[in-house]
Amino acid sequence: MRKFLSGLLGGITPAARFRHACRLLEREGRSAQGFAVLARLARGGMVAAQYQVARAYIEGSGVPRSPVEGVRWMHTAARAGHVEASFSLALMLLVDPPGHGEDHRGADGLLPAAWPGGIDRWPDPEAAAGWARQAAEGGLPDAQALYGYLLATGPQSVRDPQAARIWCERAAQAGCPQGDLGLAVTHFSASDQSPGTDPDAVAALIRAADSGLATAQYMLGLLHERGWGLPPDRARAEHWYACAAAQGVRPAQARYGALLLEDMGGRPRNAMSAETWLRRAALAGDREAAALLGDLHARGEAALPGDHEALIWYRRAAEQDHAMACRMLALLYMHGRGTAADPDQARHWLARAAELGDVAAMTDLAAALVTQGQQAHSDPGLPLPDFLPAARAGDPVAAFNLAVCLRGGVGGVTDPVQAASWMERAAKAGVVNAEYWYGRMLLDGDGVAMDVAHARHWLERAAGHGLAEACVAAAQLRLEGRGGPRDHAGALVLYHRAARSGRTDAMFSLGAMYGGGHDVPPDRAQALHWFTQGAEGGNALSQLMLGRYLARGLAGPMDRVRARYWLEQAAACGVRAARDELDHMTRTDEHAPT
């Protein structure tokens, strides 16, 4: 009987044994038997079996998982021309080695000295392109899409934009969604114009997104959000970001979370859901998501808000050079929120934010440097930063900081002339805060000859970048007609811009302009609105004017109780006119008929 069975099995063709082994590999309890048959066939030179053995080692199917053995057999099959093996090897060579961080033991249990022969380094995009080409030429649509992608975006040594488009078109025509995605990517990476300018590329991207490709869904969300080749549509952007986020695309999770924080049409903001998606993205390394999480915690909008959590998320983003997060982290250290106050850490992160171009950080750093300089007079051993070498080397932020030091006497040296010179250099290099301060120095004749026209020019430039302080100063010059023509309408625009940034003095000025007497239509309701905003923000003059409006009913019914409250607030701030108003109200109340 044994001889009979042996003869019967020996008569089965290798192809039949291969098919039988593959079926066994997929059956529970029989996978080890299937692998044993495949291994004999692979050692005998059957290329298809070599590919299946490679997959079994990589997946741990029918045999203990061994990435090294898997790569060795995949490489053997690919060298023999197996199309799927070539494609798989190309994919593997583009990322970390299989089992990265694991114990790379071979079948004999010993660690190899290197990866299998023929693989010189890992990852290796150039080698990946070669294997992708072999699979693409073998007619595999997925490989054609991959090869086209590498020709479009891979190392310079393999790039060929025209060939990239050809291979992606072949894949797309074969019904491969990755081919459609590749067509879009090849255009976006090769075009000098904004993404979305090629209708064919946009159509290909839509097909890929509709097919469920997460990367395409994320890219389509970007096109809708930014209006690249498609009408701006934040609702559609949110839809595609949500699809890609659900598939684990980190930047899509970050953008989806950010959009959920916005009021959009009939959909109110959803801070709780936004926090969930932002947390996923931040934990995966997205710095924008980490910074937004810091904001949620700092503003008390998170599910479990707290300054300590804000500190953690801001630090994550700051360590990835997120400028705003660096500044916010500095402020937490400065005020001892979520941690003990630490002036050194505060200055460190302010300096980093300034280096990264955060204009608000430059102002905060300047104030910190002046304070540090004052402390240095009583503590000569206090280390002070030396910005001169970097400023001489052409660093505009260093030039700004050096000017601040020279103007404020940081380090014991006060030199207004040199301060103005360095401030001018920084302003001409585009440092927004320097534009503002140089304008102020020209306006006041501080270290430089007074020149109101040039002062207005620099203040207008800084205001154009949205710097609130510059908006207020430039608006005042327009209002008075100094350094140029009177322009009350333009001043109104600048005051509005500064008020949106929280400047209460701008809110007072808006109330005054809408109150009448300027070259803009009076609107006492608007005046009352802005005086109220300024008063609630602590501006004493706004409190005075709000008290007057309420006491006299200038923009609605009189409210003497509230009027008295706001006048008392202004008087407590030292506004003499508020005390006079209160005295007048008291006398009026005493003579009022009972």
Alpha-helical segments (H) within 446-523: 452-464, 468-480, 488-500, 504-514
* 31 within some domain: no
pLDDT, residue 239, reads 93
Domain identity same for 367 and 419 = yes
Query: Which structural domain range is residue 268 located in?
Result: 248-356
Total-model pTM: 0.57
Q: Which residue has the tokens 């099995």?
A: 9
pLDDT, residue 188, reads 72
Strand partners, 264: 267
Q: Which residue has the tokens 């159509």?
A: 203
Query: Looking at residue 410, what DSSP letter applies?
Result: G
Domain identity same for 327 and 396 = no
pLDDT, residue 410, reads 64
First to last CA, the chain: 127
Rounded distance between C-alpha atoms, residue 530 and residue 521, angstroms: 15
Domain identity same for 307 and 351 = yes
Cβ 349 vs Cβ 326: under 8 Å: yes
Domain identity same for 321 and 387 = no
- Those residues of the chain that have pLDDT short of 50 are 1-10, 100-113, 373-384
Cα–Cα separations (whole angstroms), residue 237 to 37, 234, 244, 399, 558:
52, 5, 11, 42, 49
Tell me the chain's radius of gyration from C-alpha atoms: 35
Omega before 97 cis (within 30°)?
Answer: no
* 487 within some domain: no
| Torsion angle, alpha carbons of 136, 140, 141, 146, to 10 | -50
pLDDT, residue 382, reads 40
Domain identity same for 328 and 408 = no
Q: Residue 301's domain is classified under what CATH number?
A: 1.25.40.10
pLDDT, residue 447, reads 93
Domain identity same for 350 and 314 = yes
**Three-state secondary structure string covering 102-170:** CCCCCCCCCCCCCCCCCCCCCCCHHHHHHHHHHHHHCCCHHHHHHHHHHHHHCCHHHCCHHHHHHHHHH
Q: By C-alpha distance, which of 541, 517, 546 is closest to 529?
A: 546
* 399 within some domain: yes
Q: How far is CA 218 from the centre of its chain?
A: 15
| Torsion angle, alpha carbons of 412, 416, 420, 426, to 10 | 10
Domain identity same for 371 and 352 = no
Q: How many residues does the chain have?
A: 594
* 340 within some domain: yes
pLDDT, residue 95, reads 75
* 263 within some domain: yes
Q: By C-alpha distance, which of 184, 155, 179 is closest to 167?
A: 179
Rounded distance between C-alpha atoms, residue 527 and residue 508, angstroms: 9
Number of H helices, E strands in the chain: 32, 0
* 265 within some domain: yes
* Among 331, 356, 381, residue at a domain's last position: 356
Rounded distance between C-alpha atoms, residue 325 and residue 349, angstroms: 9
* 511 within some domain: no
pLDDT, residue 407, reads 81
pLDDT, residue 446, reads 92
Longest Cα–Cα distance in the chain = 129
Domain identity same for 338 and 361 = no
Cα–Cα separations (whole angstroms), residue 47 to 76, 84, 92, 143:
8, 11, 19, 19
* 365 within some domain: yes
Total number of domains in the chain: 2
Rounded distance between C-alpha atoms, residue 251 and residue 105, angstroms: 35
Structure tokens at 125: 């995009």
Domain identity same for 311 and 373 = no
